[in-house]
Amino acid sequence: MIIPPFSKQAMTDFKEKYEELLKENSILRRENEFLRAKSGIDHDLRTSGQREKTSRENVLLEHLIDSIPEAIAIIDLEDRVVMVNREFTDLFGYTPGEAVGRYADELIIPEDLKHDSVKPSEIAFENHRVTRNTIRCNKAGKRINVSLIATNVLIDNEIVASLGIYRDISIEKKNQTIQEILYNISTAALNQTDIKEIYPTIVQELSKIWDTNNFFIALYDKASDTLSMPFFSDEKDQFERVPARKTISKWAIGLKKSVLLKVNDMKCLENSGDIALVGAPCKVWMGVPLKAEKEIIGVMAFQDYHDEDKFSQEDVTVLEFIANQIAIALQRRIMIDNVIMASRKAEEAAQSKQQFMSTMSHEIRTPLNEVIGITNLLLQGNPREDQMDYIKTLRFSGNHLLTLVNDVLDYNKMESGKIEFEKTSFNLSDFLKDIQRTYSFRSKSKNLEFDITRQNELPDDLIGDPIRLNQILSNLLSNALKFTQKGGIHVFLKALERTAGSTKIEFIVKDTGIGIPKDKHDYIFESYTQASPDTTRHYGGTGLGLAICKRLVELQGGHIEVESETGKGSAFRFVLSFGIAEKSEITQKGDAPESYAGLEGKRILVAEDNKINFFVANKFLNGWGVKVTHAENGRIALSLLEKEDFDLVLMDLHMPVLDGIEATRIIRNSDDPRIRDIPVVALTAAIMSETHDRIDNLNINDYVLKPFKPRDLFEKILKNVR
């Protein structure tokens, strides 16, 4: 639409007229009149005076409409274009001459979106105004994202035409798509477990902007000078891995810049020897390097075999931006994968170390049990005075070694979470008496004092895990003994809280030994650590005791801490909660029997595969007057039980053919009460053995830890025998 230039007078007239029109609020009506005039609806109204006035108004309105920066089309009720403005011509490429009279649908609505045309009836339904983002196409057939406002033109409430206002939102849309693409690719890079799974996402996302039928991602390996294609899609070629040599990709990687090459550019490069084309020749090649931390890791490229104008410089810019983000996402993913891999390896290494330690400890423990067992036998056999010293040293060293091995095994079990705590009733006074007996004896030999003080009223009958409590206190007391040369060791117990069913008890193990520097207070609770590098040399130890104590206390919901200074002794304090038992729950232990009397004539079946262990047990049992029958595995034990009567079974839990756990399960399920109810005392290498969860519910009457202490074995048999 050509607008004639305006004179000054015409402009003043226009201004006045416009204000007048505004005053009358009749712009719309006048516009409609204009429309009618345009479409020849209202010929009759045009008298000559009016005609002059109307023509000025027309010019004014046409100017107004042309000045608006949005494309406008006025469409009559038959869907024919009546008028378009200048922006419409700019956006869609149709001059008014080309557009007016054509069906609007034919003009700018793409074939596949014909259903998307907005009819006056639909606009009327939406209160005469419809707003939507959609796609229209220009004269050349290029699709354009537009925001459309369609309104009806009404005269006396009757629809006479409709008005379409189009705004080009391609750039907004593209930016939004790019954001979306980047977001989806970064998310995929973080979420996919395998980096290979990211490439299809990249392709799918890029296809939102470009045709990805001829697209590839090539990663460059400098060492072998090869390009590997984690993604390759091409109408004509198929590559997975190619020598990089003189490919365009390698050339682009070397250039470190994005490139857009058309046929002639490629020919020039080929002639100059910069590139040697591989595969079918294309019309256009657009590639961008994948940069990760200054290093180019590969290239991402689009090709087209038909149209050399398929990609523009603008496409290169956009692709470059996306490629940078992709490279960062890939790099981040590779880093995460490396971290995951490293931690997995570390975990595996830790696990195999743990496995090795467990196996070794187990393996060492078996012969060690035998040595200690034989030593105990030797001590029973009235050795000569000079032999006595050797045997006692042998027993001491054996026991010490066994403690170390058990510590390693225990710690590994705790690390792998295979630890359960018992909730049994026990008598605190009896428990403390045992501690007192053991440690006063050991303290005396070092000329140290030893006492246990109850600082307030403590319940005597507790529910908890006495074996673990003993383990914690023994570790602390052994340390106190080890690191104290003069003075003494004192244990204090105090009830911190008490309710009807439970109590919280504070235990303090205090010594007057060498003390621990303040900066080492946390450190010593870690595994395999000692306060000073020469501790092992002077005092021995593995640095595991306190780590075990800490774990044992914390796993039971308590806490442990130390108060100490170099040269001023140490005080280890821990707090644990216990249940309070009914009196009747405790089986009164009474004093230990003075002699080994009471088992004479009893028939005991010993199921034990280890010959030396059996030899030792047999010696003791015979000494106590017991009639012993030997079974080398669970199966033999069961068949002996069928045939003979016994008063008790001493059952090793680890045995070939049929182990003690299975054998006990069969015994407890037997229909014959003579077999089902027989007392079973288990012989086990460690209470925390991995079989622990399998022994629950087995109804084993008691446990004797190997290597057994003769007194312990005797008491447990006496307590349970028929």
Closer residue to ligand ADP (CB): 415 or 461: 415
Closer residue to ligand ADP (CB): 297 or 688: 688
**Is 134 within 8 Å of 113 (Cβ atoms)?**
yes
Q: Which residues bind ligand ADP (CB under 6 A)?
A: 475, 479-480, 483, 511, 513-516, 524, 530-531, 535, 541-547, 570
- For the four alpha carbons of 400, 404, 407 and 413, in that order, the dihedral sign comes to negative
Closer residue to ligand ADP (CB): 358 or 530: 530
Two tokens at 455?
């600082």
Closer residue to ligand ADP (CB): 489 or 616: 489
Q: How far is the CB of 510 from ligand ADP (least distance, A)?
A: 9
Closer residue to ligand ADP (CB): 516 or 704: 516
Closer residue to ligand ADP (CB): 533 or 601: 533
Two tokens at 565?
């200074």
- How far apart, in whole angstroms, are the C-alpha atoms of residue 415 and residue 429? 32
Closest CA to 122 of 159, 156, 85, 91: 159
Two tokens at 206?
């890029």
Residue 439 backbone zone (phi > 0: left; psi -120 to 50: alpha; other: beta): alpha
Phi, psi of 565, rounded to the nearest 5 degrees: -140, 150
Question: Distances from the Cα of 568 to the Cαs of 450, 453, 485, 564, 571, in angstroms?
Answer: 17, 21, 12, 7, 10
Two tokens at 8?
């000054």
Q: How far is the CB of 519 from ligand ADP (least distance, A)?
A: 13
Q: How far is the CB of 436 from ligand ADP (least distance, A)?
A: 19
Closer residue to ligand ADP (CB): 311 or 411: 411
Q: How far is the CB of 458 from ligand ADP (least distance, A)?
A: 24
Closer residue to ligand ADP (CB): 218 or 508: 508
Two tokens at 607?
């199921």
Closer residue to ligand ADP (CB): 544 or 575: 544
Residue whose tokens read 């029997």: 593
Closest CA to 678 of 646, 634, 704: 646
Q: How far is the CB of 484 from ligand ADP (least distance, A)?
A: 7
DSSP 8-state symbol, 310? S
Q: How far is the CB of 466 from ligand ADP (least distance, A)?
A: 21
Q: How far is the CB of 570 from ligand ADP (least distance, A)?
A: 4
Closer residue to ligand ADP (CB): 451 or 645: 451
- 92 class by beta-carbon count within 10 Å (0-12 exposed, 13-18 middle, 19+ buried): buried
Closer residue to ligand ADP (CB): 279 or 543: 543
Closest CA to 681 of 709, 653, 641: 653
The sheet carrying 680-684 orders its strands as: 627-631, 603-607, 648-652, 680-684, 702-705
Q: How far is the CB of 403 from ligand ADP (least distance, A)?
A: 9
Angle of the 8-24 helix axis to the 27-39 helix axis, nearest 10: 110
Amino acid (one-letter) located at 686: A
Q: How far is the CB of 565 from ligand ADP (least distance, A)?
A: 11
> What are the helix (H) ranges across 556-696?
611-623, 634-643, 660-668, 673-676, 692-695
Cross-strand pairs, 488: 449
Q: How far is the CB of 437 from ligand ADP (least distance, A)?
A: 21
- How far apart, in whole angstroms, are the C-alpha atoms of residue 216 and residue 239? 10
Closer residue to ligand ADP (CB): 91 or 480: 480
Two tokens at 447?
């000329």
**Is 130 within 8 Å of 100 (Cβ atoms)?**
no
Number of CB atoms found within 10 A of residue 489's CB: 26
- How far apart, in whole angstroms, are the C-alpha atoms of residue 346 and residue 352? 10
Q: Under 8 Å CB-to-CB from 482, ≥6 apart: which residues? A: 539, 540, 541
Closer residue to ligand ADP (CB): 545 or 707: 545
**Is 285 within 8 Å of 303 (Cβ atoms)?**
yes
- How far apart, in whole angstroms, are the C-alpha atoms of residue 613 and residue 607? 11
- How far apart, in whole angstroms, are the C-alpha atoms of residue 547 and residue 552? 9
- How far apart, in whole angstroms, are the C-alpha atoms of residue 222 and residue 239? 18
Q: How far is the CB of 718 from ligand ADP (least distance, A)?
A: 35
Q: How far is the CB of 232 from ligand ADP (least distance, A)?
A: 59
Q: How far is the CB of 544 from ligand ADP (least distance, A)?
A: 6
**Is 572 within 8 Å of 434 (Cβ atoms)?**
no
Q: How far is the CB of 399 from ligand ADP (least distance, A)?
A: 15
Closer residue to ligand ADP (CB): 324 or 535: 535
The DSSP code sequence of 476-543 is: HHHHHHHT-SSSEEEEEEEEEEE-SSEEEEEEEEEE-SS---GGGTTGGGSTT--SSTTHHHHH---S
- How far apart, in whole angstroms, are the C-alpha atoms of residue 423 and residue 401? 29
Q: How far is the CB of 491 from ligand ADP (least distance, A)?
A: 12
Cis peptide before 707 (omega within 30 of 0): yes
Closer residue to ligand ADP (CB): 205 or 511: 511
Q: How far is the CB of 515 from ligand ADP (least distance, A)?
A: 6
Closer residue to ligand ADP (CB): 375 or 479: 479
Q: How far is the CB of 575 from ligand ADP (least distance, A)?
A: 18
Closer residue to ligand ADP (CB): 150 or 549: 549
Closest CA to 266 of 279, 250, 253, 282: 282
